[in-house]
Amino acid sequence: MCGIVGYIGKRDATPILMEGLHRLEYRGYDSAGLAVARNEKLQVIKTKGKVRDLERILPERIKGMTGIAHTRWATHGEPSDRNAHPHTDTSERFAIVHNGIIENAASLRTKLEASGVTFRSETDSEVIAHLLAASPADTLEDSLRSVLRLVTGTYGIAVLDAQRPESIVIARNGSPVVIGIGDREMFVASDPAALVRHTQSVVHLDDGELAVVRADGYETSTLDGGATAKTPLTIPWTDESFDKGEFSHYMRKEIAEQPDAIRRTLSGRLEPRFQTTHIGGLEMAARELLEVKRIKILGCGSAYIAGSLGAHLIEQLARLPASAEPASEFRYRNPVIEQDTLYIAVSQSGETFDTLAAVQEVKRKGGRVLGIVNVVGSTIARECARGIYLHAGPEIAVVSTKTFTSTVVAFALLAVHLGRLKDLSTAQGARLLAALQALPDQVATILNQEARIATLAQRFARHENAYFVGRAAGFPIAMEGALKLKEISYLHAEAYPASELKHGPLALISPETPTVIVMPRDDLYAKNLSTIEEIRARSGPTFVITQPGDPLPMPVDAVIEVPKSEAVLDPLLLNIPLQLLAYHVALARGRNIDQPRNLAKSVTVE
């Protein structure tokens, strides 16, 4: 992986390809390149580094009306000029860009080398270009079909033939590829974000599909050659949605957008007449929902942590057993899929490969699965067919902020809906609806504390290790706070249940290891005070995230207060200061906040 762009039409392809690459920079990458066809020859330029580094080495005249481009996130071979995409065959007739992993690349490479092929890179992707050159098929699409029958693994792929530049051929298995429909011009991308300046009408390929894209249209088919019918979808985002505006970083912009993101997630879904919520995308009648005896939530990274909070919400409000599990481990334990269990897949991008594989495992075994995703028309959304769209707007920074918050809000909507079907009273429903409506303004008041949090971050940034603790629903918030801090500041951070601190981690507490204590003023408040005393007794710095009330009975290094909500929604508000803390620690340490090292926004490989 990471990003694919393609263009075919009447305009010069190079500026469009470069613009698309810039749009995909948020996904994380280590090299970039493009290939443009002209006069039956390929012009290939690629380099290690950023898209701006590619711009510096582009010849003044690299022209052509058909081209493909790529940003790479290394899987096989270190980041380097020669490992950058596009890759070509020996004669430089075929160029390919590829997201995914070819699992049998080593054996294919051995066979090709035995036939006299010399490889120029260490990548798995290059084998595709050489296999295309060896194919006896008459058309590019048939050549690609024959190649893909030989490979094992995942791919989103675009192929260009210098001698037949009237088409780009694309294919998909486990890694997204979309077609953008223009006026006598067509676009290709791994993410609709690359296309929004030129079109809002897109076609998503499904796994096992191939498409021939020409300036005047496209044809889709299966790998066996059978025609398929596709319905274009409208991208709900505009080009302006992808600008940073007044902010220095996308992450900071997206933190600031959370009040509006929450409003969009709530919009049209509150039903005050019956003190419940309305979630049309569930497509499950009350009777079917009442048959559910257990809920299991699947996600990776922040999506898994949001799922942990979602499980807490569902258990508290609907009194249904609920749990969250990393989707990346789910299918490898040969899970028992129960007919009275509802599975929920969580993914901001809707393309996370591990989560998609978990969804397919549930469906293969006859289970019911819903999706909670942000990107309309994404693979997981289409695979699940029903669920909840976040409508949080595009999230460009690699780390999740507003989509994490909107995901928790979506779980709250679901929990209220399920609870009102069961034992949640109208009075409780009314309080929860009022609390949900109050969230945007409450988040805005927390954001007003940014200057003070930034000052605390300066102290935090001097350390190399930190700990986050919380109890009950506070523990997932501690997990999310630790994850954000290490993702973007590279400061080592770990999260523990506060009750587990004395069972081992306390050995690591020292004056050089600050601890963030997530402690709402709930039934466990007194126990959290005891945790603070345990840390202070070892001279550990303590930073407390809490709510207004009586002053703490002991001195601490800092207290950040957030507004009080309904108890089950308090964790959502307690998380906001931790986002700002991570951002300002990373800023103080001079990190690349929007594109942290080694990470990608959408993880489409296993």
List residues with catalytic annotation: 2, 601
**Residue given tokens 């223009």 in the structure block:** 182
Cα 352 vs. chain centroid, distance in angstroms? 7
The rounded distance, in Å, linking the Cα atoms of 211 and 232 is: 14
What are the tokens at 285? 């009648």
What are the tokens at 211? 């498409």
Those residues whose C-beta lies under 8 Å from the C-beta of residue 425, and which sit 6 or more positions away, are none
Those residues whose C-beta lies under 8 Å from the C-beta of residue 450, and which sit 6 or more positions away, are 580, 584
Residue (of 581, 566, 557) closest to 520 by Cα position? 566
Peptide bond into 571 cis (omega under 30): no
Instruction: Give the long-range contacts of residues 482-487, CB within 8 A, separation 24 or more.
Output: 483/301, 483/302, 483/305, 484/399, 484/401, 484/578, 484/579, 484/582, 485/578, 485/581, 485/582, 485/585, 487/398, 487/399, 487/582, 487/596, 487/599
Residue 223's H or E segment, with its range, is none
> What spatial distance separates the first Cα and last Cα of the chain, rounded to whole Å?
11
What are the tokens at 58? 């582009």
Beta strand 186-189 with 217-222 is: unpaired
- Identify the DSSP state of 552: P
Those residues whose C-beta lies under 8 Å from the C-beta of residue 396, and which sit 6 or more positions away, are 26, 193, 242, 250, 254, 594, 601
What are the tokens at 310? 């979602």
In 378-513, which ranges are continuous DSSP H helix? 379-384, 402-421, 426-447, 450-460, 474-489
Residue (of 247, 259, 579, 254) closest to 444 by Cα position? 259
- Asked if 443 and 437 count as a contact pair (C-beta separation under 8 A), the reply is no
Exposed e or buried b for every residue in 421-433, given b needs 16+ CB within 10 A? eeebeeebbeebb
What is the SS3 assignment for 46? strand
Q: Is 149 buried (19+), middle (13-18) or exposed (0-12) by CB count in 10 A?
A: exposed
- Asked if 529 and 553 count as a contact pair (C-beta separation under 8 A), the reply is yes
In which order are the strands placed within the sheet that holds 465-470?
492-497, 465-470, 515-518, 542-546, 558-561
